[in-house]
Structures are given as C-alpha cells and as structure tokens.
Amino acid sequence: MTQITVGIRELKTRLSSYLRQVKGGVTLLITERGKPVGRILPVPTSMEERVQGLVEAKLLSWNGHRVASSVPVPRVRAQQTVAELLLEDRE
C-alpha cells in the first residue's frame, strides 16, 4: 500500500485529486507544520469485491458457489444412534 504525506493547506487546495488517489488505494498522511495529525485510508472492500477483482484480472477462477465446509463429520459404525451409545456408556 502506498502512502503519501500531504500538508493541510495542500490537501484543502487539491482535495478532489487526493480523494481520487485514496479511491485507488493510496493512504494519505496529513501533516500540520511537518507533524502528522491524521490519516485518510481507503475503505476496505468486501470479500466478494476482492474475489471479483481477482477473477477479472484472470488470477482466479471461481464459479460463484460457496466452498463446502472441510470440517470432518463424525460417523457411527454401529446400528445404534449416538444417543443410544451415550446412554449405554453411562450405565
């Protein structure tokens, strides 16, 4: 991410130009008499917008569907249910 340092007077004079740069991803460090007093950051984009940008840049291929969960599902190898096994184990 690029950062530009700009004084308050210069920022007021060319605000539209600097805001276009911020929209492009540049961070502005605002100074008063050479000392930092504030920062203007671009608004973070949503995950969908970032993915769409990668698709448009042909860096990613995506069909639009959500990725399936990779959490393993426990399976019982017996004829009994998990609840029945728990009850049996408590006896």
User: What CATH code is carried by the domain that includes residue 39?
Assistant: 3.40.1620.10
- What is the arrangement of strands in the sheet containing 35-40, beginning at the earlier edge strand? 3-7, 27-32, 35-40
pTM: 0.52
Residues 41-70 pLDDT 10s: 888 778 887 877 777 778 888 777 887 777
Tokens of 50: 């970032």
Nearest to 36, CA basis, from 48, 24, 28: 28
Tokens of 47: 């995950």
Task: Count how many domains the chain has.
Answer: 1
Q: Extract the runs of DSSP E, i.e. beta strands, from the chain.
A: 3-7, 27-32, 35-40
Q: Does the residue 19 lie in any domain?
A: yes
pLDDT bin (cut points 50, 70, 90) of residue 7 is: very high
